[in-house]
Structure 1
């Protein structure tokens, strides 16, 4: 699967969230960014790295338990420009986004949880991004 941008990844793909989802659920764009909550996102994001999705789950807004889901895109997708080339050459984070929904095909439980100290360091980093009003390519 890919788009005209020639995404070079066949997955499997993962999505991290605090939402309690079921197999068959569709995740769509149109929700607030976890990094800049004043921005409503035009895409749904996912990664081919299980622990990358775990990090996203840990950082996601809400009070629910962090969860990682195995997902499949339902339409074209592209490299996430927020981390690809802008911050890292190529796509080492194997991060993608789609304007089309992604479908939950299962839940993954064998991902690496952050230590409380590592989680706090990430929250501090995100707070710094918010204070700097870091750009998000939407």
Structure 2
């Protein structure tokens, strides 16, 4: 599954998260269970299983769903899900510790520390912007944030999803044409901590950042552009977001 906010299962999980934020946990769980029933592939099942697990009040039930999510994550084994493994291992360790199962608690706590932090994704990678750039140009950190006024960004951001870069282009500051460039990292990079394991387990948007420049190696002309109405809704969400950017 390529992550999309328009995916039916993702929509149900987002609706459930909104209910959680309002303290309506019973109806939130009902939506997560509906998402599980409507899931058509392992990625959708993994997403819904994660949310079902965290709404369980009994440890044995939470363990069941965490283990289900772990089995799916290991089966999928892609860059969107791998960053969720330390989170799942840590939660399993906590459950086993509360149950007094010391050996299992130590086992999963150890596994949580063994998962590599650095992503192994080889690309291709994309960057969305309204800047008019040429092949060979370098994108560098130090620009102003599109999401928080007057914040100077310490990293340059990119994604492995074309449509994700297209969304970034639509939300970028300025009046220029929306552009999606194919980019090549010139140094090490990491999973974007602003999205990884925040709303969704793992890094399903395949978002990354680097201290080193990105080199423009091409441009994408065809991607799923959002409508003006969708852009307005996304901008409202960003304006209402109270979370602090990890810079």
TM-score normalised per structure 2: 0.52
- Please name the residue that 1:107 is paired with: 219
- Aligned positions of 1:41-80 closer than 5 A: 41-80=153-192
In structure 1, runs of 5+ residues without a counterpart are none
- Shift of the alpha carbon at 1:37? 2.2
Q: Which has the higher strand share?
A: 1
Larger Rg: 2
Q: Which moved more, 1:81-90 or 1:62-71?
A: 81-90
Higher relative contact order (CA 8 A, sep 6+): 1
Alignment: residue pair count: 132
Provide the alpha-carbon RMSD of the alignment.
Answer: 1.0
Gaps of 5+ in 2: 1-115
Q: Which of residues 106, 128, 135 is equivalent to 2:240?
A: 128
CA deviations on 1:69-113 (whole Å, 9 max, x unpaired) are: 000000000000000012321110000000000000011011111
- Larger helix proportion, structure 1 or 2? 2
Q: Could you state the TM-score of these two structures normalised by the residue count of structure 1?
A: 0.92
Following superposition of structure 1 onto structure 2, how do residues 28-39 of structure 1 map, counting pairs within 5 Å? 28-39=140-151
Cα deviation 1:4-42 (Å, max 9, x = unaligned):
723031110000000000000000000111000221000
The question of 1:15 aligning with 2:146 is answered no
Question: For residues 120 and 86 of structure 1, what CA distance do their matches in structure 2 show?
Answer: 23
What SS does structure 1 have at the residue aligned with 2:237?
helix
